[in-house]
């Protein structure tokens, strides 16, 4: 269990560093991401005119800074609602117990529950924005962030 928390902390730390580097970058833009140069004391408020984070960065930052405790566990989730939403939205592809799709067929089996526990940033990103390579639909426009929190917390309970 301790190893799991360490992996989650490392993943969260790395994402935080990447996000921080993007925000403090020298005002360069590439692809969909546009960034500004701002000293910490001059940082733009989220949603303000000067806030230039992408939707992807905002959702990932929300996960890391608002939905997780210091051990990488989701806080404030409703597991009962998460189970109901999982069965409505995820079960058709991932199966009743989340073990229909093995994300690592060449090694140790990795299912939706494993991914939600050990690699929550990837799980969260795929749930929000999909994954064309794996035919995963994006749910950012269909499922509220509170419902996604509940689904992610429920998914962590799956084998």
pLDDT in tens, 109-156: 999 999 999 999 999 999 999 999 888 999 999 999 999 999 999 999
Of 5, 126, 127, 146, residue with least CA distance to 76: 146
What element of type H or E holds 34? strand 33-34
- pLDDT tens for 92-109 read 999 999 999 998 889 999
Q: Which residues make beta-bridge pairs with 33?
A: 30
User: CB-based contacts of 130: which residues, under 8 Å, 6+ apart?
Assistant: 136, 137, 138, 139
Contact 57, 87 (CB under 8 A): no
- pLDDT tens for 43-101 read 566 566 666 778 888 888 888 888 888 887 899 999 999 999 999 999 999 999 999 99
Radius of gyration for the alpha carbons in the chain, expressed in angstroms and rounded: 17
């Amino acid at each position: 269990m301790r190893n799991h928390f360490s992996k989650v902390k490392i993943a969260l730390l790395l994402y935080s560093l990447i996000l921080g580097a993007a925000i403090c970058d020298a005002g360069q833009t590439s692809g969909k991401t546009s960034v500004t140069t701002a000293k910490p004391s001059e940082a733009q408020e989220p949603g303000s005119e000067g806030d230039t984070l992408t939707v992807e960065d905002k959702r990932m930052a929300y996960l890391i800074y608002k939905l997780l405790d210091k051990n990488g566990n989701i806080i404030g989730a409703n597991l009962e609602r998460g189970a109901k939403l999982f069965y409505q939205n995820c079960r058709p592809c991932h199966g009743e117990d989340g073990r229909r799709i093995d994300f690592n067929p060449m090694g140790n089996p990795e299912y939706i529950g494993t991914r939600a526990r050990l690699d929550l940033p990837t799980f969260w990103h795929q749930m929000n924005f999909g994954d064309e390579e794996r035919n995963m639909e994006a749910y950012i426009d269909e499922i509220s962030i509170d419902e996604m929190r509940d689904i992610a917390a429920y998914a962590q309970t799956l084998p």
